[in-house]
Structure 1
Amino acid sequence: MNIKTKRIIMSVFGMSILGVVVALLRKANLGVDPFTSFVVGVGNIFNTTYGIMFPILTGIFLIAVFFIDKHFIGIATILNLVIIGPVADITLKGLNLLYDASNIWIQIVTLFIALVILCIASALYIVGNLGVSSYDALSLILAEKLEGKKWGQYRFCRMFTDIICVIIGFSTGAVIGIGTVITAFFMGPFTQFFIIHLAKPLLYGKITETSDDLDNVKNT
């Protein structure tokens, strides 16, 4: 199997299981990632499901990215738009039929599983290197526009967009909790681990670590 085919498979699979992660985080009810909190919150305003609101919001962001800096758009950007929302809704319905997560220990286990899968999915999606989500692109564009300035580093720009999402999500009824905090502070290092020890070997057949891999972790 050639590298290009592997990249497409990794991107599609990574995007698909990101939808599963969203469902698990919502099932755990201990806090979701910042962007999911934003989508859920806006969905609460319009009484709309995540699966419907996600492509609407990411589509709006995609239009903005296209006119501002379209080089961030790739196959994975489109996959992100059409796959994650429906997969998240379908998976959540299945999980609700499968088990009750009212027990705190079940919630913690569900959260742990979600975070592990999240890092694996992100590693596959990043190493696939076929574009970034429209939300990820916003902070990357902001970092480029502010390059050389004190607050122009990517981590500050990402913190800014994430904080805005959390504020909107919290004010509109999304669950903000330990899952949100863990996602914000620990996702990067664990995603880096899976990039080096899982995604890169899958793509190239061996463990390799380059500066590009470490830089790409920032896109999560």
Structure 2
Amino acid sequence: MIRRYFEKAGWGRLLVMVVGNIFLGLGIAVFKLSGLGNDPYSGMVMALSDCVGMAYANFLVLINLAVFVLEIIFGRKFIGAGTVVNALLLGYIVTFFYNLLSNGIGIPEVMWQKLVVVCIGVVVCSFGVSMYQTPDVGAAPYDSMSLIMAMRKPSISYFWHRISTDALCALICFLAGGIVGIGTLLSAFCLGPFISFFDAKFTLPLLRKIEKK
């Protein structure tokens, strides 16, 4: 079944999606490096993994598999190659880049450095999300939840479904002792406009060129 998802996607779109996940992992690592909070879902998983004493990447796979069951039941049409890559590999990409950055440049100590790092995280994450989502080859388990909710309850816009799932994750993150801060707020309010910018200026033109070949 997994092989069918990859063959259906097309190699050009698959490559863009995989590169997008690499940039997304880098962006999440940069957010973590800032110490000012991650996007709600990543922050929640990091906080819960610390609580149970399990490595973030391994715990993320377990959480994604649990959410994936819901995606299979309620939103099978959102499943694709991107679902598999994001669910199984993103945590390890984040861990690789975080270790590389923290050992290479160190953890920022003063606030202005933290703010610069978190702003870089916004841009890198947005670029990654644009490249991962725009090829339309499958939604990550968590991302599919708000899509499923919007599909089953169309009277409420997708925006509010996404806000509700993000708010729940942020609350769990806070209760589990994680960081809910400037980075969390910036990811909630700034990723969307940057993603739209990268969609229009980079990812969609790139996909058109790939599909012409």
Deviations 1:46-104 (A, max 9, x none): 01221111111011100111012211100000000122101111211111211231122
Q: Distance in 2 between matches of 1:4 and 1:145?
A: 29
Equivalent of residue 160 in structure 1, options 152, 158, 164: 164
Deviations 1:28-61 (A, max 9, x none): 0111101011101211220122111111101110
Q: Output the amino acid matched with 1:137.
A: S
Query: Which secondary structure state, in structure 2, belongs to the residue aligned with residue 205 of structure 1?
Result: helix
Q: How many angstroms does 1:161 deviate by?
A: 0.5
**8 Å Cα contact 2:23-2:124 kept in structure 1:** yes
2:3 equivalent in structure 1: none
Amino acid at match of 1:176: V
Paired position in structure 2 for 1:40: 46
Mapped to 2, the partners of 1:47 and 1:102 lie a distance apart of: 26
Q: Which residue of 2 aligns with 1:218?
A: none
Q: CA deviation at 1:118?
A: 0.8
What is the CA–CA distance in structure 1 between the aligned matches of 2:41 and 2:203, rounded to whole Å? 24
What does residue 134 of structure 2 align with? 127
The answer to whether 1:65 aligns with 2:47 is: no
The alpha-carbon deviation at position 185 of structure 1 amounts to 1.1
Verify: 1:10 aligned to 2:16, yes or no: yes
In structure 2, distance between residues paired with 1:110 and 1:189: 19
Amino acid across the alignment from 1:114: G
Q: Which runs of 5+ in 1 are unaligned?
A: 207-220
Alignment of 1:1-220 (within 5 A): 4-98=10-104, 99-148=106-155, 152-205=156-209
Measure the CA separation in 2 of the matches of 1:89 and 1:124: 20
4+ runs deviating over 3 angstroms: none
Q: Aligned to 2:107, what secondary structure does the other structure show?
A: coil
Read off the aligned partner of 1:102 and give its amino acid letter: E
Letter in 2 for 1:170: F
SS at match of 2:10: helix
The question of whether the paired residues in 1 share the 8 Å contact of 2:13 and 2:137 is answered with yes
Q: Distance in 2 between matches of 1:53 and 1:19?
A: 15
CA contact (8 A) 1:49 1:89 kept: no
The separation in 2 between residues aligned to 1:203 and 1:69, in whole angstroms, is 25
Q: TM-score, normalised by structure 1?
A: 0.87
Matched positions, count: 201
Q: CA deviation at 1:143?
A: 1.3
Task: Return 5+ residue gaps in structure 2 as ranges.
Answer: 1-8
Supply the AA of the counterpart residue of 2:16. M
Q: TM-score, normalised by structure 2?
A: 0.90
